[in-house]
Amino acid sequence: MNAKRVFPIFIFILAMMTASTGFGDECMDCHNDPGFKVQHPKLFNYFTEFDASVHGVAGLSCVDCHGGDEKTRDLDKAHVDVLKPVKFDQIPVTCGQCHVEQRDAFVTSDHYRILEKDGTAPNCATCHGAMEMDFIFVTRVKATCVFCHNEESGVLPEVPGKADLVLNKINIIKGYRSFVNTHGKDRDLAAELNESYDKLTANWHNFDLANVEAQTNELLGEYRKAKSQALKDRKK
């Protein structure tokens, strides 16, 4: 079983345990307080964004990324070092606690080296957002690349075009993938392709674009066939 898929279950069990032993999660309770909406509207908006995000839905809490003490209502005690884990150079470590494959690929990239040195490369939150975490938007990712990779800066200006091409193919794969997962009769094939897909989106994070493009083309071909078969399966 993929480690990534284990987490929701793990978190669910954790949530059940805390619920049954009576420990509340004061971070969530206080930041979700309707009074908070009036006193700290900006912070309340952070909460709403988080709550609707993939992480909110998966049952994460503030403490999973920010640390602090979730068992107290005392502000000073609750907030010890809550900004430290979300400082730009700490973000890969913080997110990497759960997204291990992505982190492992990312820490081998030039981007990570530069991020550690002077902070002028993208971190996980630059592309994925932080609190409002959601699926990737191709246009947003490309705009992120253009910010640094352009003719004026002279830093590999060909990168955004290449990344755009690969990302659009990954997007097509996503469509095929959901079709194959829903309608494909060959469950082993679907599972195998899902594994390749997870590998591809993890590998993307070392930013070896030529390699990622080759992998993307191969997987797209395999999904195209699987989708065509699933279409026939559905008509039977």
Residues 125-184 that bind ligand HEC (CB under 6 A): 125-128, 130-131, 133, 135-136, 141, 144-145, 147-149, 155-156, 159, 163, 167, 170
- Listed in sequence order, the residues at least 6 apart from 100 whose beta carbon sits closer than 8 Å to its beta carbon are 3
Pick the piece of the chain touching ligand HEC (CB under 6 A) from 44-52, 177-185, 186-194, 214-222.
44-52
**Could you tell me the smallest distance in angstroms from the CB atom of residue 231 to ligand HEC?**
23
Q: Which of 13, 16, 54, 214 binds ligand HEC (CB under 6 A)?
A: 54
The residue written with tokens 């989708």 in the block is 227
Nearer of residues 44 and 185 to ligand HEC, judged by Cβ: 44
Distance CA 210, CA 111 (A): 16
Q: Which range of residues in 119-127, 185-193, 215-223, 227-235 is near ligand HEC by CB under 6 A? A: 119-127
Q: Cβ of residue 179: shortest distance to ligand HEC, in angstroms?
A: 16
Q: Which is nearer to ligand HEC, 81 or 188 (CB)?
A: 81
- Decide if residue 223 touches ligand HEC (CB under 6 A): no
Of the residues 14, 15, 52, 58, which one makes contact with ligand HEC according to CB under 6 A: 58
Q: Does 210 bind ligand HEC (CB under 6 A)?
A: no
Four-point Cα dihedral 136, 142, 144, 149, nearest 10: 150
Nearest to 109 by CA among 212, 228, 2: 212
Judged by CB, which is closer to ligand HEC: 123, or 184?
A: 123
Exposure class string for 47-64: b at 16+ Cβ within 10 A, else e: bebbeebebbeeebbbbb
Site mask, ligand HEC, residues 7-36, x = CB under 6 A? xx-----------------xxx-xx-----
What's the Cα-to-Cα distance from 217 to each of 18, 63, 100, 158, 197, rounded to whole Å? 46, 39, 25, 19, 12
Closest by alpha carbon to 66, among 56, 45, 54, 80? 80
Q: For residue 148, which amino acid is it?
A: C
